[in-house]
Structure 1
């Protein structure tokens, strides 16, 4: 939970710089990647975080530290964002890394906007989340800090395979396991789904069934959940033959699982008890 000073700093910085970051269009890919790298560096260097958030230290000194670290290789907008962040007050030193990560995800969203891939990324993240729901062992390894990051990324790539995910989806999925940030993997993916949904002004409803839904069924679900949530929704239909029958519906963090396999698992637990 961020303190009041950090919430104000984060909100004011993003309100001020979001339009400029959006205007970088396809350069937002490079900026987002640079900010993800900076997030990782900050997460692993508490001394650097303290140097950049010390309220008694002149802002000019903090900007000099940034220039020493980033040199002249970073994008101009990356430097603008970082200079703005170090000039603000933070409740905790680690909150500046959270703000940098937020900007990094924003960069990926604006790049997706510029390349017409925003909805695709949102759907693909929901598909990844849905696929991992039935893979608890894989999920646990994706956020196991004792496993090297390279091994976690390799496992992720083997899971995704040749599904043809966009490069934004791949980068976000890799970030979630490359830099764990004390979060479970599905928690991070859900956070990303929520950010993209808010960005598009609609909620993502992931519906998993054994066979594909037809257009009439999708429209009926769209009407039901639009009324239930009070705003537009997008139905992401996922086909998973292993559920056998029934339907699993996920809206945000809420999952309603009425599939046959879930009922069988419940019956097995009852019998075992």
Structure 2
């Protein structure tokens, strides 16, 4: 999302934040509605007229009102109107902004209910389950051979009994939304937004064997000192790393695994 789109999203988000804070646990319902609006804008080819730079902002806001008034909460309509009054570099940027705002609304509702950390851990749990079950991961991925409602039904059957309603709503979005990187990337997007609401970042840590609580504590302290912010560690296992750790946080990769060192030696010998 470039500068123009980012500015429009930020302006609408600033106006939306106090509304969402007042909504409290209703954030779940508002977030689900925002994601539903994003879906309708995408499948109905509405993003182009709603972001047309040749149309006055109020004209686009009036169009948004005609399209969604009475179908969703008035607060959601007002948010969409605030968004479309801005300038967007590409129509898809509006849809992406709606996705982020919808996810953030669900997460903020969970924070108001005191369940945000639980939701974050459940998202990590779903990610781990898909990482270790290739067949399930493939079944949940959007494709021409599967229908969205069938994928959603499968996700609900597999995870519904184990997740809070907030987490399940987010997993449904992850399964329904097509994105580069598929469902795992969508889950990561949700986890990053959850961490941001708690003023911290997510560090993915891969090791061959489970790390002890002491080791995790030391690693977290090192990362906090290096990054200057609180860190949530998402630890996963991969026997193929052989030994050592691979840490991915934001755009940084720290790879001290034995596998990585062996690959470097092989490359040097081949060169």
- 3-state SS of paired residue (1:79): helix
Contact 1:194 1:252 in 2 (8 A): no
Partner of 1:32: 31
5+ residue gaps, structure 2, are 264-271
Which residue does 2:86 correspond to in 1? 88
Alignment RMSD, CA only? 3.2
Contact 2:142 2:176 (C-alpha < 8 Å) held by counterparts: no
Equivalence map 1:13-162=2 (5 Å): 13-46=12-45, 48-146=46-144, 147-160=146-159, 162=161
Query: Which position in structure 2 is the counterpart of 1:12?
Result: 11
Whole-Å Cα distance in 2 between the matches of residues 241 and 49 of structure 1? 42
Tell me the distance in 1 between the aligned counterparts of 2:191 and 2:184: 10
Partner of 1:225: 223
> Equivalents in 1 of 2:130, 2:249: separation in Å?
15
8 Å CA contact retained: 1:203, 1:251: no
Secondary structure in structure 2 of the residue aligned to 1:24? helix
Question: What is the deviation of 1:40?
Answer: 0.6
Query: Residue 142 of structure 2: SS of its match in structure 1?
Result: coil
Distance 1:51 1:173 in 2: 30
Counterpart residue number, 1:195: 193
> What does residue 267 of structure 2 align with?
none
Q: State the distance in 2 between where 1:249 and 1:172 align.
A: 27
User: Offset of 1:255 from its aligned partner?
Assistant: 8.7
Gap runs ≥5 in structure 1: 267-273
| Structure-1-length-normalised TM-score | 0.79
Distance of 2:139 and 2:254 partners within structure 1: 22
CA distance in 2 between partners of 1:158 and 1:73 (Å): 28
- The number of residue pairs the alignment matches comes to 258
Cα pair distance change 1:204/1:53, threshold 3 Å: closer
